[in-house]
Chain A
């Protein structure tokens, strides 16, 4: 099926893209990788009157980290994360894992991280990862650019803090400390399908082996990806033991609020949320050399 008719505008600079969005307001959508938007338009689930194509905006291609922050521009592709020279470092293991399971390898050559966050699909991968990593999104509006915590950015299914005439101009992941590892656990029926259930975890250890920081988030577990606060609280300050992991997994199972579909029942998916959090934590601790 073909999308409904629209006007196509190609932006070459961030200012031009922003001006187009300001000019066309609610009618306009940003076209980045298009790997979710174009199918949505084809199914007529989305009918924007204007598409602002930002693929020619060179200033939006960036992917850099400076020791403090990993900054990802609006048209940095999933495949670029997958191939980043630093992606094999333990501290980036959560990003490493997710970069290999988003959609399929061809889609990843077009799809973008920022676009995935802005799409905010209930079963998205990057949304859960951004929560577990405590990322922030830069949003440009009429009053300038503001930084929005990912928890505040993800408002509801397919809805974010990006308002009419605004645009997300990048996402920032704090560079984790040395003694950090993560894991992304996704159960899917086949490559490219939506997750049946997915969990993102990231943990940092203190010198004495106790857990300094923990990020735990679920996808395909409600209207949009969700942080499991109770799991994080159950981990921080504790040692990575079976009991600690069990407490975090039980919190995830309680927090998960999925919908039943062909992929499984509510009960099954809630159970999976706990299993995947436990599996992810075990893998993260193993990556840190801690048996659990």
Chain B
């Protein structure tokens, strides 16, 4: 079937099998490898992308066909004009990653969280990221990174959408 998905503002029109999962569509059909496939069973959150600018979804548990006609934001769409997104800057400044495998999912889950709650408490952040696993650092610096970015999202959202 033919699908047309707008990823990071660019239309990708492709032929896919209905059973193609969104994560594989992004990586193999669009060449956007930022959505990482970790557990591939909806547990780890490494493949999280943002759907229609507001909803964090695990792209291993959604079909590309479902995204037909929708907007998807991946980690490749966060930085604008060479400037890191405030969340990326937060992860950079606070050393919120080691190997980086979970980072795209952490960033996009946090993005959706900050759209819901502009200035979340530490508890809100820890709860909001409970579906994303990091196996290197522990979560302390990830939480600090999101705290650094909190309150800075509205302008960045306008730029990204």
Number of A residues near B (Cβ < 8 Å) is 31
- Report the interface size class on chain B: 20 to 34
B56:A6 contact, CB within 8 angstroms: no
Looking at the complex, which of B38-46, B76-84, B93-101 is the stretch in contact with chain A?
B38-46
CA distance A12 to B77 in the complex (A): 30
Tell me, rounded to whole Å, the shortest Cβ–Cβ distance linking B49 to chain A: 10
Q: What DSSP secondary structure best describes chain A's contact surface?
A: loop
Interface membership of A129, Cβ < 8 A: no
A109:B57 contact, CB within 8 angstroms: yes
Which residues of A have CB within 8 Å of B109? Answer: 105-106
CA distance A31 to B61 in the complex (A): 12
Closest chain B residue, CB of each to CB of A51: B18
CA distance A104 to B68 in the complex (A): 25
CA distance A105 to B106 in the complex (A): 12
CA distance A109 to B132 in the complex (A): 14
**Chain B 68-110: CB-based contact to A (< 8 A → 1; otherwise 0):** 1000000000000000000000000000000000000000010
CA distance A38 to B40 in the complex (A): 11
Interface membership of A42, Cβ < 8 A: yes
**Chain B 48-65: CB-based contact to A (< 8 A → 1; otherwise 0):** 100000011110011101
B116:A83 contact, CB within 8 angstroms: yes
**Chain A 22-62: CB-based contact to B (< 8 A → 1; otherwise 0):** 00000000010011001101100000000101010000000
Which residues of A have CB within 8 Å of B41? Answer: 39, 42
Which residues of B have CB within 8 Å of A38? Answer: 21, 42, 61-63
Do A106 and B17 contact each other (CB < 8 Å), given the known contacts A8-B1, A8-B63, A191-B130?
no
Interface membership of A174, Cβ < 8 A: no
A106:B56 contact, CB within 8 angstroms: yes
CA distance A97 to B28 in the complex (A): 40
CA distance A105 to B58 in the complex (A): 11
Which residues of A have CB within 8 Å of B132? Answer: 106
Interface membership of A187, Cβ < 8 A: no
A106:B131 contact, CB within 8 angstroms: yes
Query: In chain B between 102 and 161, which residues have their CB closer than 8 angstroms to a CB of chain A?
Result: 109, 112-113, 116, 127-132
* Chain A residues within CB distance 8 Å of chain B: 1-8, 10, 31, 34-35, 38-39, 41-42, 51, 53, 55, 79, 83, 100, 103-107, 109-110, 191-192
